[in-house]
Chains A and B, each alone.
Chain A
Amino acid sequence: MERGEERRRSVSEAATVGDRSTILRTETLTKRFGGTTAVDDVSLSIDAGEFFALVGPSGCGKTTTLRMLAGLERPTAGRVEIAGRNVAGRPASDRDTNLVFQDLVLFTHMTVAGNVAYGLARDGVPRAERRSRAAEMLATVGLEGFGDRDPAALSGGQKQRVALARALVNEPAVLLLDEPLSSLDRKLRAEMRAELRRIQDDVGTTFLYVTHDQESAMSMSDRVAVMRAGRIVESGPPESLYGHPQTAFVADFLGNANLLSGRVHGQRAGAVVVDAAGGRFPAAVGEGRTPPASGADATVMIRPENLRLRGDTFAGTVRDIGYMGAHREYAVALDSGPTLQVRSGDNGDGVTVGDAVGLGVAAAAVVGAGADG
């Protein structure tokens, strides 16, 4: 009982006393295991109600970060502020976060309702209220009437929903999700992504979603942070990260990217004109960033879907065609040397391997243009 009240009070305090909209903030969060640094100086700030994704290749430290936020791993140093309170040294039972585990880890010796009501019981909620709130939460996640089932008898998607309901029911300030969709097949995963979004809109809880799957991260989140080797490389809205990455790593990690080195030829509004791989084309700089000076070296990114098999920016020869169903992927070796990936939904190209083609650039972006002005 006491803890529940304290928890609610701390949330309201945060709304008034703390930073107006920040619900979770870390500063210089660091974790070392022996001599290796798993998480290195991570500073994050997540707004209340946000759907935030932390994405990176496996072993980049994202799960360790999440476990430190949950209180299951002790940071070596740093601050973790949740709803305005520094909880860095506090155990998991004493912080206002709940974690949905990668393998869900449902309590197999309890019913579905028993699982969902578990956190309420720990908060000292009376039995009758536990039952009604658990039923309500099950309805929210689309499992109305499943309360008496045995978790082992549920399908993969249903288990996901139970794990979600169990973690949401006692209204945590932040819900932490550790790749909960990774065990689902492709189709179900897409379905659950939409469901996660809907549920998040429904309950309004802040979601911090950790994954190595950039597609999941971008499709669901308001903001994405990309992690590499224990550090956060870049963060921002998915469109901005995908369209205007500041590093080659992020450009490549978030999707297929043709990266070319070139030289700035001249300036335009919000863009520069670049000479690269024997072609001259405009490349966007990105909002709020300083364009590189004329004559400077620059790395340019062109997404495969932004290259056309018609045009005269580049000239080359088709080396390979991959049929992907909805589109085709071409490997085009430029006369100037590099090979570019081109994606085209146009089935009537009539282009075959060995054909000489001209390529047009629909959109390109300068990578790492003068970070943040």
Chain B
Amino acid sequence: MRGSTDRLPWPIPNGPDQRRTLVDVVLAALPTALAVALGVVPLLSLVVESVSPPVTLSNYAALSESVYLTVLVRSLGIGVVITGACLAIAYPVTYWLAHACPPRYRLPVLVSFTLPLWLNYVVLNYTWVWILATDGIVNTVLTAGGVVDRPLDLLRTASGAGIGPIELPGPSLGLGFVHIYLPYVLLTMYVSMERLDYRQVEAARDLGAGSLRVFVDIVVPETYAGAIAGTLIVYARIAGAFATPQILASPSEQMIAQIITTQFYDVLDYPFAAALSVVFLLVVVVGFGIGALSTDVRAELKRW
């Protein structure tokens, strides 16, 4: 430091810069105000609502009933299973797309894989009814071909299988979910795959690594952060889905959004619906927190 500014001859005030900053603030304020009014305020009023009337924790106490816990655990479990399935499909597909697809087909293929993002998910779910119903395409083909004697129960049937607390979704629920959320995962995974330097793969091959080795040693370490960042979003969406289980789940596969909606729509118990939402949100946020523990993943989330 060489002495203060005011001792220099002809000091120059910060006039126009401050005016520009003011313009920036005003322009930033509009979208921020909307986002606060429709995002932050509702979340806060959910919390307030969940402890009313006046101030009580009874809504949260009611949550401890095993039926709600079961539904919450099921929703999160289905979120994990579907996200995993989407990733398993997206890895080879985006790898091919980013590194093996002829460049001129790359964009059309990517666009066609991501186009369903902008379609109506109620309609997309509905299409599976015609595939899986007792008189649907699959059963018609199977019975006509003599593969099965009686039509299979594929639509709105629980799988009954599970790993520990995680239930596997029934065929129609699983397919319907993957159908809607796979495009999200494909898009986010493609971004990571594209950044993977293919010369690393070539170098590994040249050193004698087989496909599995290349995948485990190069592809996964280079892309996992992007994969997690992208799937965190999808995971929260799946666990909180309403339309898909309404259309494609068996009655024994109720999910959390259905219960919240019933409390809001039919029972009109807003405080309890709010309490359910707050707990669900907290669980999801904790999930994000765990995912974001890795600095690589945090960096990816910032890119969003």
Residues of A participating in the B interface, judged by any CB pair closer than 8 Å:
27-28, 30, 32, 35, 37, 74-79, 88-89, 91
- In the complex, A89→B11 CA distance in Å? 9
Which residue of chain A has the shortest Cβ distance to B11 in the bound complex?
A77
Interface stretch, picked from B2-10, B190-198, B202-210, B247-255, is: B2-10
A77 close to B2 (CB less than 8 A) = no
- With A35-B1, A37-B2 known as contacts, the answer to whether A76 contacts B12 (CB < 8 A) is yes
Give the distance in Å from the alpha carbon of A195 to the alpha carbon of B67 in the complex. Answer: 84
Given known A-B contacts A32-B5, A35-B1, A77-B5, A91 and B10 have beta carbons under 8 A apart: no
B-side contacts of A30, CB under 8 Å: 8
**Is there an interface contact between A77 and B1, defined as CB atoms closer than 8 Å?**
no
B16 touching A91 by the CB < 8 A rule?
A: yes
Residue of chain A at shortest CB distance from B1? A35
Task: Give the distance to chain B from A269, nearest Cβ to Cβ, in Å.
Answer: 43
A78 and B10 contacting across the interface, CB-CB below 8 Å = yes
Question: Residues of A contacting B13 with CB < 8 Å?
Answer: 89
Please list 16 pairs of residues, one from A and one from B, whose beta carbons are closer than 8 Å in the complex, sorted by A's number.
Answer: A27-B9, A28-B9, A28-B10, A32-B5, A75-B12, A77-B5, A77-B8, A77-B11, A78-B8, A78-B10, A78-B12, A79-B10, A88-B10, A88-B12, A89-B13, A91-B16
Distance of A74 from chain B, by nearest CB (Å):
6
Instruction: Note all chain A residues with C-beta closer than 8 A to B15.
Output: 89
16 more CB-based (< 8 A) A-B contacts, given A28-B9, A78-B12: A27-B9, A27-B10, A28-B8, A28-B10, A30-B8, A35-B1, A75-B12, A76-B5, A76-B12, A77-B5, A77-B9, A77-B11, A78-B10, A79-B10, A89-B12, A89-B16
Cβ of B14 < 8 Å from any Cβ of A?
yes
Across chains A and B, the number of contacting residue pairs, with CB separation under 8 Å, is 35
For the complex, give the distance between the alpha carbons of A77 and B5 in Å: 8
Q: How far is the CA of A293 from the CA of B164 in the complex (A)?
A: 98
Set of chain A residues within 8 Å of B14, measured between Cβ atoms: 74
- In the assembled complex, the Cα of A75 lies from the Cα of B12 at a distance in Å of 7
Instruction: Return chain A residues, CB-CB under 8 Å to B17.
Output: 74
Residues of A near B2 (CB, < 8 A) are 37
**Shortest distance in angstroms between A151's beta carbon and chain B's nearest beta carbon?**
25
Take A35-B1, A37-B2 as given contacts and tell me if A76 and B16 are in contact as well, using a CB distance cutoff of 8 Å.
Answer: no
B11 surroundings in chain A (CB, below 8 A): 76-77
Q: How far is the CA of A89 from the CA of B14 in the complex (A)?
A: 8
B10: A residues at CB distance < 8 A: 27-28, 77-79, 88
Cα A28 to Cα B5 with chains together (Å): 12
- A35: chain B residues within 8 A (beta carbon): 1
Q: What's the least CB distance linking B9 to chain A, in Å?
A: 5
Cβ-defined contact, A78 with B5, below 8 A: no
CA distance A32 to B3 in the complex (A): 11
Give bound CA distance, A77 to B12, whole Å: 5
Roughly how many angstroms separate A241 CA and B102 CA in the complex, as a whole number? 60
**Which residue of A has the minimal Cβ distance to B6?**
A77
Q: Which of B194-237 contact A (CB under 8 A)?
A: none
What separation, in Å, do the CA atoms of A94 and B9 have in the docked complex? 23
